[in-house]
Amino acid sequence: MVDKGFILLADISGYTIFLTDSELEHAQAILHSLLELLIEHTHSPLVINKVEGDAVFSHAPAGSFRNGQTFVENIEQTYITFRKALELMAANTTCACNACRNMRSLDLKFIVHYGEYISQRLAGQEELTGKDITLAHRLMKNSVVEDLHFPAYAMYTSPAAQALGILDLCSEMVQHSENYASIGEIPIYVQDLGKVWEKRRGEVRLVVQPSEVLIEFSDIFNCSQVQLWELFTDPESRGVFMQSNRQYLTDRKAGRTGPGATYHCEHGNRTSRQTILDWEPFEQFTTQETGLFVNTYDRATYQFIPVDGGTRLKILVSKFYGPVLKCWLSNVAFRLMGNRIYRKGSEVLKDRLVPV
């Protein structure tokens, strides 16, 4: 049967030269650690098909992502973790061998395509075949480094960008094309992951501190960390949890949800605003939320923690800030009702939307 879906190749670049110029034992240990990292960061709904030497090949069915930004951020987070791991290994070694000296020469590239494929079992293993699988692998040999000078990048073919619904996000990428004799010209969008790393490496997290916490809510959902993140960042399903009449999102930059974007949560005649202050994909995000009274606000940090059998949602809500009397009344009311409201929202969301 022909299936349709997303094809992802995460490839360690500089692999061949690194092996050639390095002591094999240490080189293999370093590459093994980095491949394990790529495997660990291949989150559901992506499924690993196989490891191909220096690359991890995974796929996901059509329609398996609520929001294409999730796919983009999964790649970005994987790259940031990869770079952090390289820096940590380099900082913690005193070995002077070529492998340990040269590990910083390794980098990472991602190929993302969307198309048709057939799954078949050969020698006890699932194999995906088809012209789109072939195309994704052909795109691993490309001119991005030579033409664009991006040592690390994510490449999205036009079908992948359209299927993910990320054309707004692609406006901040570089339009490029590759040409193959047997295939023709392939339009692509290329994201410079080096810029992502430089922007994110020095970020300071903004979270509700223990001394600020008014209430803490916790519950376990039977879904992956990425799936739960999608539910709580998607306005519609977030509205289900908040038990609002309607929820919508404004002030996104280039179609991307992140710091500065605002959720508008309608409850009858009242609309509260929840502005994103901090955004650490799949781990946590923090919002500043307008209170019941004029000129009052609180902050809430939503954390997503993988546990056996699912993901724990933890919400840390701060005390209210603003005029003293209004804040006192708000603090008393939310201490009494906050956990009850979140518990009900959690039950409704599980019943209606959480994947089984």
Q: Kindly report, residue by residue over 197-241, the tens digit of the pLDDT.
A: 998 887 888 999 999 999 999 999 998 899 899 999 999 999 999
Question: Mean pLDDT across the stretch 346-351?
Answer: 91
More confident site: 42 or 355: 42
Query: How far is Cα 288 from Cα 206, in angstroms, rounded to an integer?
Result: 11
User: 47 lies in a domain?
Assistant: yes
Question: Mean pLDDT across the stretch 169-194?
Answer: 93
- At residue 103, the pLDDT reads 76
Q: Specify which residues 57 forms β-bridges with.
A: 9, 50
- At residue 323, the pLDDT reads 95
- At residue 74, the pLDDT reads 94
Q: Which phi and psi angles does 155 have, rounded to 5°? A: -110, 125
Asked whether residue 162 falls in the same domain as residue 231, the answer is no
How would DSSP label each residue in 54-88? TEEEEEEETT--S-HHHHHHHHHHHHHHHHHHHHH
Asked whether residue 46 falls in the same domain as residue 105, the answer is yes
- At residue 149, the pLDDT reads 95
Q: How far is CA 345 from CA 5, 8, 60, 353, in A?
A: 32, 35, 29, 12
Query: How far is Cα 136 from Cα 160, in angstroms, rounded to an integer?
Result: 11
CATH number assigned to the domain comprising residue 57: 3.30.70.1230
Do the Cβ atoms of 239 and 247 come closer than 8 Å? Answer: yes
Residue identified by tokens 């050969």 is 122
Is the alpha carbon torsion for 237, 242, 247, 252 positive or negative?
negative
Residue identified by tokens 């491949």 is 35
Closest residue by Cα to residue 150 from 108, 192, 178: 192
Tens-place pLDDT, residues 292-319:
898 999 999 999 999 998 999 999 999 9
User: 34 lies in a domain?
Assistant: yes
Residue 96 has pLDDT above 80, yes or no: no
User: What is the rounded average pLDDT for all residues in the chain?
Assistant: 90
Asked whether residue 109 falls in the same domain as residue 6, the answer is yes
Q: How many domains does the chain have?
A: 2
More confident site: 14 or 82: 82
- At residue 324, the pLDDT reads 95
Asked whether residue 189 falls in the same domain as residue 239, the answer is no
Query: How far is Cα 313 from Cα 210, in angstroms, rounded to an integer?
Result: 17
Asked whether residue 6 falls in the same domain as residue 53, the answer is yes
Query: How far is Cα 308 from Cα 260, in angstroms, rounded to an integer?
Result: 34
Q: pLDDT band at residue 21, thresholds of 50, 70 and 90?
A: low
Question: Mean pLDDT across the stretch 238-255?
Answer: 93
Question: Mean pLDDT across the stretch 59-74?
Answer: 92
Asked whether residue 148 falls in the same domain as residue 239, the answer is no
Question: Mean pLDDT across the stretch 21-50?
Answer: 81
Q: pLDDT band at residue 355, thresholds of 50, 70 and 90?
A: low
Q: pLDDT band at residue 1, thresholds of 50, 70 and 90?
A: confident
Q: Specify which residues 56 forms β-bridges with.
A: 10, 51
Question: Mean pLDDT across the stretch 93-109?
Answer: 75
Query: How far is Cα 310 from Cα 316, in angstroms, rounded to an integer?
Result: 20
Question: Mean pLDDT across the stretch 326-342?
Answer: 94
User: 205 lies in a domain?
Assistant: no
User: 332 lies in a domain?
Assistant: yes
Q: Which domain holds residue 252?
A: 210-352
Q: State which amino acid sits at residue 87.
A: E
Asked whether residue 225 falls in the same domain as residue 178, the answer is no
Asked whether residue 222 falls in the same domain as residue 280, the answer is yes
Specify the pTM. 0.86
Domain boundary among 200, 229, 253: 200
Asked whether residue 214 falls in the same domain as residue 94, the answer is no
- At residue 287, the pLDDT reads 97
